[in-house]
């Protein structure tokens, strides 16, 4: 199977098992951190295939290029903060960038954030009056071949 075909197959399998197919993507561009709400139709345009760790085959990752970030920006992205502020919050925290971003977004929606490890197929990261979202910051892993095989 070609990498393009594997990417498509894994993305389809991920969408099939995902608890929600609405997302808030976070990314850094030109000194700022942005968020954009999107549905699963953008996944083929922003995910890439990468080697998974610990013998789990390939992984689906959100590692957007500048072109992909500009695409996400065109979907109505909102400014969250400067990258300098984001880095300062990260430095003063025990959490990683994805968790920091998730906390910022959850609090932006007026909710208290609590770290959890709910799998993508069991729940959302954020529930609002209008939707349930998975929150992903650049560099995030969506899933890997091993996990998708367990779900199949």
Helix, coil or strand: residue 23:
strand
Q: Would you say residue 1 has pLDDT above 80? A: no
Tokens at residue 28, please? 């850094």
Q: DSSP 3-state helix, strand, coil percentages of the chain (rounded to 5)? A: 40, 30, 30
Instruction: Give the total number of structural domains in the chain.
Output: 1
Q: What angle do CA 146, 149, 150 make, to 5 degrees?
A: 90
Residues 40-92: tens digit of each pLDDT: 999 999 999 999 988 899 999 999 999 999 999 999 999 999 999 999 999 99
pLDDT of the residue at 140: 96
**Residues of the domain holding 23:** 3-151
pLDDT at site 53: 85
Dihedral Cα 99, 34, 124, 87, nearest 10 deg: 0
**pLDDT interval class at 106 (50, 70, 90):** very high
| pTM of structure | 0.94
């Amino acid at each position: 199977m070609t990498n393009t075909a594997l990417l498509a197959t894994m993305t389809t399998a991920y969408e099939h098992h995902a608890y929600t197919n609405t997302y808030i993507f976070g990314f850094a561009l030109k000194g700022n951190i942005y968020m954009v709400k999107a549905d699963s139709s953008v996944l083929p345009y922003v995910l890439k295939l990468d080697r998974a760790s610990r013998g789990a085959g390939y992984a689906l990752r959100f590692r957007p290029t500048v072109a992909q970030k500009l695409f996400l920006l065109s979907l109505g992205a909102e400014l969250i903060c400067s990258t300098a502020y984001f880095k300062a919050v990260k430095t003063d925290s025990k959490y990683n960038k994805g968790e920091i971003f998730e906390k910022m977004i959850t609090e932006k929606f007026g909710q208290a954030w609590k770290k959890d490890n709910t799998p993508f197929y069991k729940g959302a990261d954020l529930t609002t009056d209008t939707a349930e979202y998975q929150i992903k910051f650049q560099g995030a892993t969506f899933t890997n071949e091993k996990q998708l095989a367990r779900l199949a």
